Structure 1
Amino acid sequence: MSRHSGSSRHRSHHSRSTEENPEDLVEQVKSIVTLLYEVVSSRPYEWEAYLPSARSAMRALDHLRFFRDPQRFAEQVWMLHGLQDYAFHDADSGCIHDIAEWCQAAWLRILRNYPDNVETLTGLGRNWLQRAQASLARIHREEGNDSSSQGSSSQAGTWPPRSLLDEDEDDADEELASPPADPRRQGPLYVEARGYLQPAVDFYARAVRSADALGCTTGDILASAAESQMSLGNVTGPPGDERHFAQAIRYLRSAEAVPGYTLSVYLQQYLNDYGRYVS
């Protein structure tokens, strides 16, 4: 009986000390997030060993109502990037769902205080885009397995859509036109992917508009916005896919024009190959 009461007193004292020293708790969380950054960059294969620490950091921040304080914006963003990168350490295989959802909710809390903040909008766009990666990877694997029997009609997002081809293009370009509509785009994987990608497209578009208004648009934001549009185009049937592919090209052109910025090899090739189809 005495051991039980002693334990209760200890827990009560610990609770009071935590309440009296919130900054100590914040510093502990920062140490955990610093470690998560290191894990993701250097040894992501060890991610599972750090799951209890990541979740304890989330609980501590919830206890402190940390993301309701508009004065701590820089710290909030830094912590969220660390936790979100950890949640999506292998996005093609999926994510740590509770941490990914927690990050999204935290970004939304910050957005209430800073509704046009570029970094917050970008963080939300990245959250949704990374959520889609597992669905996109599964689609790619399934289509790869079926390609011998399905032919080119199995490939999502064939570019450019027929409506974008100039009437005076020679016959050689006809092979680039969209194939017949693939009924699998109405399948559950495609629907799931679109459900993740539409918010990604929307948040990145808001981020670009805000950055443009502030004169702080970067090549990275534009490239990510283009990637979200390309991905959504890949899982959208014609003619809706045309709009997403065309917007991706426009973002890539803007990114290419940013002084000192270089597109990735993949995005540069995409722009070189298909930019001529978009006015």
Structure 2
Amino acid sequence: MSRHSGSSKHRSHQSRSTDQNPEDLVEQVKSIVTLLYEVVSSRPREWEAYLPSARSATTALDRIHFFRDPQRYAEQVWMLHGLQEFAYHDADSGCIRDIAEWCQTAWLKILRNYPENVETLTGLGNNWLQRSQATLARIHREEGNDSSSQGNGSASGIFHHSFDSDLDLDSDDDVASPPFDPRRQGPLYVEARGYLQPAVDFFARAVRSADALGSTTGDLLASAAESQMSLGNVTGSPGDERHFSHAIRYLRRAQEIPGYSLSIYLQQYLNDYGRYVS
């Protein structure tokens, strides 16, 4: 299917949607989401051409109350992953806000039916973590390139040098904490914490649920670690140390899973800072 024929086809689907039965609409949404997956993976710079189709998909699913049906869980999750990936196709630059928020609402609807479901909790954690990336990237741009020598381009790691200095001081409980950093109270930091605290909470719930099932994966632990690292980066001392310590413990667990390898960045982080956490 070509890009142009696909887009025109989906626009015609939208115009006819009011007189179609729900199952026809579901199939049309599936075809749109399949296309969105392909756009994100192969040609993300063309995302804007597919925005009307993505919005028509969310409108159609709302119209038929698709996320109220607990029997369609697998389809719901597959659609949400596709739409969420599209909404955050370039998270460091921002997101497609209405679709990102729609995905969050849809995840919460599924969570009502499956309150301890690992994949749903992970989807919500990812939604909040990805939403924070643009704010973290803006902080990085505005406050310099302190992390440029680290060789990591991820906004989530932009202040991890503070882990080193903070935990050096914390190695002796009698040593005072680092001086108060007024930047941590600035509006961008407050905004970032507002996104990252829910990410940390949802990932923590996902890990607990996965642990209870004996199904915890390295990817889940790595994402949970990244959320803790990111929140630590925008939290003043001494609260930041708690988040960094949680991150190290998640990374240790991930590293111990047979056949799983941390990313180069996370492995380096664990190697550099793991010695500070017992």
Q: How does the TM-score come out when normalised to structure 2?
A: 0.85
8 Å Cα contact 1:33/1:54 also seen in 2: yes
- Identify the residue that residue 188 of structure 2 maps to in structure 1: 189
1:81 equivalent in structure 2: 81
Residue in 1 that maps onto 2:32: 32
Structure 2 SS opposite 1:119: helix
Q: Indicate if the aligned counterparts of 1:87 and 1:100 stay in contact, CA closer than 8 A.
A: yes
Instruction: Note the alpha carbon deviations across 1:8-58, whole angstroms, 9 max, x for none.
Output: xxxxxx66741xx21111110000000000000010000000000000000
Distance 1:70 1:140, change over 3 A: same
Cα separation, 2, equivalents of 1:86 and 1:253:
31
Question: Could you give the per-residue CA deviations for residues 147-194 of structure 1, whole angstroms, max 9, x where no partner exists?
Answer: 9xxxxxxx8450132453258xxxxxx9xx975332111000000000
TM-score (norm 1): 0.85
Query: Is 2:135–2:188's contact at 8 Å kept on the other side of the alignment?
Result: yes
Correspondence list, 1:103-118, <5 A: 103-118=103-118
Name the larger-Rg structure.
1
Matches within 5 A, 1:230-245: 230-245=229-244
Instruction: Sort the Cα spacing of 1:145 and 1:118 in 2 relative to 1 into closer, same or farther, 3 A.
Output: closer
Residue 78 of structure 2 is aligned to residue 51 of structure 1: no
Compared CA separation, residues 178 and 259, structure 1 to 2 (3 A) = farther
Do the aligned residues in 1 keep the contact of 2:169 with 2:178 (CA within 8 Å)? no
Instruction: Output one character per residue of 1:225-269: Cα deviation in whole Å (capped at 9) or x when no partner.
Output: 000000000000000000000000000000001111000000000
> What letter corresponds to residue 191 of structure 1 in structure 2?
V
Correspondence list, 1:32-181, <5 A: 32-144=32-144, 156-157=159-160, 158-160=162-164, 161=166, 162-165=168-171, 179-181=178-180
Query: Does the C-alpha gap of structure 1 residues 15 and 134 become closer, same or farther in structure 2, counting only changes over 3 Å?
Result: closer
Cα distance between partner residues in 1 of 2:146 and 2:275 = 31
Structure 1 residues 165 and 16, CA gap change in structure 2 (3 angstroms): closer
Instruction: Assess if the C-alpha contact under 8 Å between 2:17 and 2:25 holds in 1.
Output: no
Cα deviation for residue 130 of structure 1 reads 0.4
Q: Output the CA distance in 1 between the equivalents of 2:109 and 2:17.
A: 26
* Distance in 2 between residues matched to 1:218 and 1:166, nearest whole Å: 34
RMSD: 2.0
Question: Alignment partner of 2:253: what SS?
Answer: helix
Q: Structure 1: 5+ residue runs without aligned partners?
A: 1-13, 148-154, 168-173
Aligned to 1:203: 202
Cα distance in 2 for partners of 1:96, 1:89 equals 9
CA distance in 1, matches of 2:109, 2:74: 14
Where structure 2 has 5 or more consecutive residues not aligned to the other structure, the ranges are: 1-15, 148-157
Relative to structure 1, the CA distance from residue 16 to residue 47 in structure 2 (aligned partners, 3 Å threshold; closer, same or farther) is: closer
How far apart in 1 are the matches of 2:215 and 2:276? 28
Measure the CA separation in 1 of the matches of 2:92 and 2:179: 28
**Is residue 26–residue 61 contact of structure 1 (8 Å, CA) maintained in 2?**
yes
Give the 3-state SS of the residue equivalent to 1:159 in structure 2: helix
Amino acid across the alignment from 1:159: F
> What do the CA deviations read for 1:189-248 (whole angstroms, capped 9, x no partner)?
000000000000000000000000000000000000000000000000000000000000
Distance 1:201 1:16, change over 3 A: closer
| TM-aligned CA deviation for residue 118 of structure 1 | 0.1
Which residue identity lines up with residue 64 of structure 1 in the other structure? I
